[in-house]
Chains A and B, each alone.
Chain A
Amino acid sequence: GENVEQHPSTLSVQEGDSAVIKCTYSDSASNYFPWYKQELGKRPQLIIDIRSNVGEKKDQRIAVTLNKTAKHFSLHITETQPEDSAVYFCAVSGYSTLTFGKGTMLLVSP
């Protein structure tokens, strides 16, 4: 089955800095790569996703890049704000099921 590795497990940054979270996967047939944000006590919510026919996607301060050859994709958050503090999960899917990474706890200090 699919194996997803996510790094780092925790990430502390100062407000205004950039944050990068990276995931690697094993199944070259995977074609959908969403990122979820989960605030404390709340449900995971999709923040951005990318499909295998695209190399990069951006939405305001958030971007995702995909390298299919190397089988890794990354989440980039620029100009971080304290409200960006949360756990971020990457996921990988080939059809109907998602395999999740273990999550990255992002802490943004004012």
Chain B
Amino acid sequence: ETGVTQTPRHLVMGMTNKKSLKCEQHLGHNAMYWYKQSAKKPLELMFVYNFKEQTENNSVPSRFSPECPNSSHLFLHLHTLQPEDSALYLCASSQVREAQTDTQYFGPGTRLTVL
């Protein structure tokens, strides 16, 4: 599938490193999302971008910094992470219309390990 792609697929980093996750959607959608998926936890919404504007930040620590340069690309910049930040980070996109939610399509995720 090529609808939503993410790179890298796997990332191991130390607590003092700085890295970035990249997401690209090829579906012509106007909204993009970052989720965190940990073992035995539901999908946790981190950030939402609607028409390139951040509309939601669910109390995410500042060591996670999102960037959305255009409606097709989304980044998650990481710095000074903690071991508990190790998880699968999923990107998703959808088409948001007035008063109507459409399906969110997920990327394959980045498996992040913080040592």
- A42 within 8 Å of B by Cβ? yes
Q: Tell me whether A43 and B101 are in contact in the complex, defined as CB-CB below 8 angstroms, given that A96-B31, A102-B41 are known contacts.
A: no
Within 8 A of A (CB), among B72-115: 90, 94, 96, 99-101, 103-109
CB pair A95 B90 closer than 8 Å: no
Within 8 A of B (CB), among A51-92: 89
For residue A34, which residue of chain B has the nearest CB? B103
Residues in A with CB closer than 8 Å to B31 are 96
Residues in B with CB closer than 8 Å to A89 are 42-43
- B45 within 8 Å of A by Cβ? yes
Determine which of A44, A46, A94, A103 lies in contact with B101 in the assembled complex, contact meaning CB atoms within 8 Å. A94
- B21 within 8 Å of A by Cβ? no
CB pair B42 A46 closer than 8 Å: no
Residues in A with CB closer than 8 Å to B56 are 97
Residues in B with CB closer than 8 Å to A14 are none
How many residues of chain A have a CB within 8 Å of chain B?
23
Residues in B with CB closer than 8 Å to A49 are 103
Given contact pairs A36-B106, A44-B106, A46-B103, enumerate 15 new A-B contacts (beta carbons under 8 Å): A31-B101, A32-B100, A34-B103, A89-B43, A94-B101, A96-B50, A96-B96, A97-B33, A97-B45, A98-B101, A98-B104, A100-B43, A102-B41, A102-B42, A103-B42
Interface residues of B (CB under 8 A from A): 31, 33, 41-43, 45, 48, 50, 55-56, 90, 94, 96, 99-101, 103-109
Interface residues of A (CB under 8 A from B): 4, 31-32, 34, 36, 42-46, 49, 89, 93-103
